[in-house]
Homo-oligomer: A and B are copies of this chain.
């Protein structure tokens, strides 16, 4: 096997770097993710890692995109069976709670951690993080609006307010689960979200017994 690899090999290498990078960054942060450590853990040279992304910022942007793809698989993609509006909203909330409970990322919600780390900075990495979170919240809001139009939420509901409060319960769960290792936090979150939406979360009853 020659040291010069094919394009397919390069793609595989890139995927392996990103998988490790996402896991490390969810724990150590996107700044704490270093090229040297990544190279060490993958038994590669630093320049081999860096060559794929050009710079640390390029690596960070690729890691954010890879985390977004994984999040999409683990949360919204699991709600495809639920109809738009209240059913989808409840499914998205339950999928989010489950995503934290299952510890999809070893350091908890990747985007909660990344937004806390980059909220005081400027530049493309912050932009990528805020863009992805904005899209996620727009998806929630859209389903709130459909639920209102369908009569499944009160007509005077403020969609932005509901999304704001749901976001708070998501952050509370990540906080309590990671910092206090509070195992009752997922059910507390389900309860709070169910009250906000006037309906219990779909899987909560099953998981409670």
Q: Is A146 an interface residue (CB 8 A)?
A: no
Pick from B116, B133, B168: contact of A168, CB under 8 Å: B168
Find out whether the CB atom of A116 lies under 8 angstroms from the CB atom of B119: no
> When the two chains form their complex, are residues B179 and A119 in contact, meaning their CB atoms are under 8 A apart?
yes
Which residues of chain B have C-beta atoms less than 8 A from A170's C-beta?
Answer: 168
Is A50 part of the contact surface with B, judged by Cβ < 8 Å? Answer: no
Chain A interface residue count: which class?
35 or more
Q: Please determine whether A185 and B172 come into contact, CB atoms closer than 8 angstroms.
A: no
Q: How far is the CB of A54 from chain B (nearest CB, A)?
A: 23
- Measured CB to CB, the nearest residue on chain B to A178 is B119
Contact in complex: B180, A168 (CB < 8 Å): no
What is the distance, in angstroms, from A2's C-beta to the closest C-beta of chain B?
40
Which one of B116, B168, B175 contacts A192 once the chains associate, using CB atoms below 8 Å? B168
Q: How far is the CA of A40 from the CA of B24 in the complex (A)?
A: 31
A104 within 8 A of B: no
The answer to the question of A161 belonging to the interface, with a C-beta cut-off of 8 Å to chain B, is: yes
Q: Is the CB of A112 within 8 A of B108?
A: no
Q: Are B164 and A192 in contact (CB under 8 A)?
A: yes
A-B contact pairs, 18 of them (CB 8 A): A29-B31, A29-B117, A31-B32, A107-B119, A116-B117, A116-B175, A118-B179, A130-B180, A161-B188, A164-B172, A164-B185, A164-B188, A165-B172, A165-B188, A167-B172, A167-B175, A171-B171, A171-B172
